[in-house]
Amino acid sequence: MTGSTPPRKRRFRWRGADEASTEPSSGPAQRSTDARDDERGHPASLEARGGADGAAGHQEVIPEGEAAAWADALHATGAAVVPADRPGAPEERPRGRMAAVRDGVRKGGDRAKAGVAYLADRIIENAPRIPVRDLATLRRQFPGLSPERLADKLVNGAANATSTVGAGVGAAAMLPAPPAMPAELAAEITGVAAIELKLIAELYEVYGQRPPGGLKERTAVYLTTWSEERGIDVTKPSTINAALGVQMKRELRQQIMKRMVRNLPNLMPFMVGAAVGAVMNRRDTHKLARRIRDDLRVRQVAWADLPEIPLGADGGALGGAPGRREIEG
């Protein structure tokens, strides 16, 4: 067409090239069109928002060195300059695979921490409701036994109970179902914790080391003993105060996480996990009891020197049948 700029001299492709050629060019458009392509540098993106008549905009690529001059020229016509590396640009770089993996690991860790914290809260909530027998009840149920033989009876009974829990969870996981595994681990840890907390409270009774204070203080001591796997010196007020603090909850979460990792073999299929769970839970209960008994035996008080105070007479209202006492908070 007459009056049009030849394509070889047209440096920028504009939609209205024929109409624009009839008007005098201004600004950077008057620059020489003989520059080589390798001298233009990195391109910058110019995105027009559309004219006053509401027409759709267009996008051009210009040399980086001339971007400022073109921005001034296009600003007067209502166009907008959009840097190519601007956040939210039309074309963004796809996220790397490692970034996706890191996000998945972080979200998985957050869910694991939330699950452990929830499980710790449930154990703390259920601990005051665990039935505990006082020393008088234990001596009536096991007459003629010395403190050590009575403690052996209690440990063997608790070991048999935790072994049964481990075998039951292993049998439930005979055919592996990944979505149910966290619930199975949580059920096993909750059941084992209840049995071992009952054992700990009764061992304190057998060795004459009932923690002073009300049910809340005693519950905190028993939970601390379970999480730290050692006997607490109830004659020192500092140990009782430490058991009531935030440190107890933190150590309880650590103990729960350790138990979960230790109980993972219980989920092996084809009834293998049942046998593994029974053996491991029995071993762990005996190990826990041995450590606590070693600590309590050092500070043991003879039964003849203990006052006949029923469990719960110094704290909250305990109910239930004789010998079925609760640790209430």
Question: CA–CA separation, 271 vs 169, rounded Å?
Answer: 10
Say yes or no to pLDDT of 13 above 90: no
Question: Per-residue DSSP letters for 198-265?
Answer: HHHHHHHHHTT-PPSS-HHHHHHHHHHHHHHTS---TT-HHHHHHHTSHHHHHHHHHHHHHHHHHTGG
- pLDDT greater at residue 193 or residue 49: 193
Cα torsion for 32, 35, 40, 46, to the nearest 10°? Answer: 40
- pLDDT greater at residue 242 or residue 218: 218
Question: CA–CA separation, 160 vs 282, rounded Å?
Answer: 7
SS3 325: strand
The reported pLDDT for the residue numbered 263 is 84
The reported pLDDT for the residue numbered 274 is 85
The answer to whether 165 and 192 are in contact (CB under 8 A) is yes
Q: What would the mean pLDDT of 303-317 be, rounded to a whole number? A: 70
Phi then psi for residue 325, to 5 deg, are -95, 160
Say yes or no to pLDDT of 45 above 50: no
Query: Degrees (nearest 5) of the Cα angle 47, 53, 57?
Result: 15
Instruction: With both helix axes pointing from N to C terminus, report the angle between 147-172 and 181-206 in degrees, rounded to the nearest 10.
Output: 170
Q: Parallel, antiparallel, or unpaired for β 59-63 and 43-47?
A: antiparallel
- pLDDT greater at residue 293 or residue 4: 293
pLDDT in tens, 192-211: 999 999 999 999 999 999 99
Q: What would the mean pLDDT of 162-170 be, rounded to a whole number? A: 90
As a whole number, the mean pLDDT across the chain is 74
Question: CA–CA separation, 328 vs 306, rounded Å?
Answer: 23
Say yes or no to pLDDT of 21 above 60: no
| C-alpha dist (Å) from residue 127 to 26, 124, 198, 217, 328 | 84, 5, 9, 12, 8
The reported pLDDT for the residue numbered 145 is 94
The reported pLDDT for the residue numbered 205 is 95
Q: Write out the two tokens for 284.
A: 């762990």
Question: CA–CA separation, 266 vs 170, rounded Å?
Answer: 5
pLDDT in tens, 255-298: 998 888 888 888 887 778 888 889 999 999 999 999 999 999 99
Question: If you average pLDDT over each of 2-6, 146-150, 248-252, which comes out highest?
Answer: 146-150
pLDDT in tens, 100-115: 666 665 665 667 678 7
Q: Write out the two tokens for 266.
A: 């219980």
The reported pLDDT for the residue numbered 161 is 96
pLDDT in tens, 87-103: 544 454 555 667 766 66
The reported pLDDT for the residue numbered 236 is 77
Residue located via tokens 């203990």: 306
Q: Which amino acid, residue 241?
A: N
Q: How many residues does the chain have?
A: 329
pLDDT in tens, 106-165: 665 667 678 788 888 899 999 999 999 999 999 999 999 999 999 999 999 999 999 999
